[in-house]
Each structure stands twice: as structure tokens, then as C-alpha cells.
Amino acid sequence: MTALLNPYLNFRTEARAAMDFYQSVFGGDLDVSTYGDFQASDDPAEKDKVMHSQLTTPTGFTLMASDLPAAMPYEAGNNFSVSLSGGTGDEAELRGYWDKLVEGGTVTMPLDRAPWGDSFGICTDRFGVGWLMNIAGTPGE
């Protein structure tokens, strides 16, 4: 697998509606997971919120989005990040990018094993750009 770079949009409660809309615009396949699917929130009010969604279009576009939990800040107009993702074969490359991105920046969530089995982290680089890093876990782990 080759590492991918794509936009990641954040919402408070409208990720599903937004991604349904973008699917109607661009076509393609939409996958949606909620916080409840992975028991990723202790707040029952967040169980049906979108933890991760991905639209993959016939033309090769990839757009991702989620509903931020109430504990994370949200500001309309500044609700996007850049997602870097890849498989286990890309791990050294992606961790190298992570190490450089966090120099002088802020780590919101350390790059570590996530409930869905991948390594995941969130940081803001020294220029204020938000980054999400996902390294696919080894199947069966």
C-alpha cells in the first residue's frame, strides 16, 4: 500500500449529513463508523456520532470526516485537518513524517494503538496545521 494524503473534515454533529451530501455530489462509496461501534466514548450522547467516515469516489478522490467529541474544541471555518495514512509497509515512512511534524508543534493524541487496531495520532504542526496519522495494524493482532 502507498501512503495517502487527503483532507479530513470535522463537525460537531453533522458529519453524516455532510458526507451523504458529498456522496450525492461526487458519487462513490461511503463507509461510516460511530463512536458506539468501537465503544470509543463513555458519553452515551456520543454513541451515534460519526467517529470516522470515508468517501471514495470513482475518480479517485478520498474525503474523510468525523464528529468531534464534546471534549475537543470545534470552530466552524477551521474544522479541517490533513490525514496521512498507510499500511504496515509504510510504517517507518509515516512515523518519520510524524516525528518531523511534531517538532515545535503540539501532540493532541500520541501516535499509539487505537481501539480499531491501527496506530493513530493527532498533532498540530508549528504552523497551526492539524494532522491525523493512521498506520494500519497487522490483521489478526
Q: Quick: pLDDT tens for 6-38.
A: 999 999 999 999 999 899 988 999 999 999 998
- Residue 1: the pLDDT is 57
Neighbour-count burial for 41-72, b at 16+ CB within 10 Å, e otherwise: beeeebeebbbbbbbbbeeeebbbbbbbbeee
CATH 3.40.50.300 fits 4-66+79-135, yes or no: no
Could you tell me if 109 and 121 are in contact, meaning their C-beta atoms sit under 8 angstroms apart? yes
Determine the Cα–Cα distance for residues 96 and 109; give it in Å rounded to an integer: 17
Element (H, E) at 21: helix 15-26
**Length of the chain in terms of residues written:** 141
Cell 517538532 -> residue: 103
Contact (Cβ atoms closer than 8 angstroms) between residue 68 and residue 10: yes
The pTM assigned to this predicted structure is: 0.74
Q: What is the pLDDT of residues 33-83, one digit of tens each?
A: 999 998 888 889 999 999 999 999 998 889 999 999 888 888 877 788 899
Which sequence spans correspond to the domains of the chain? 4-66+79-135
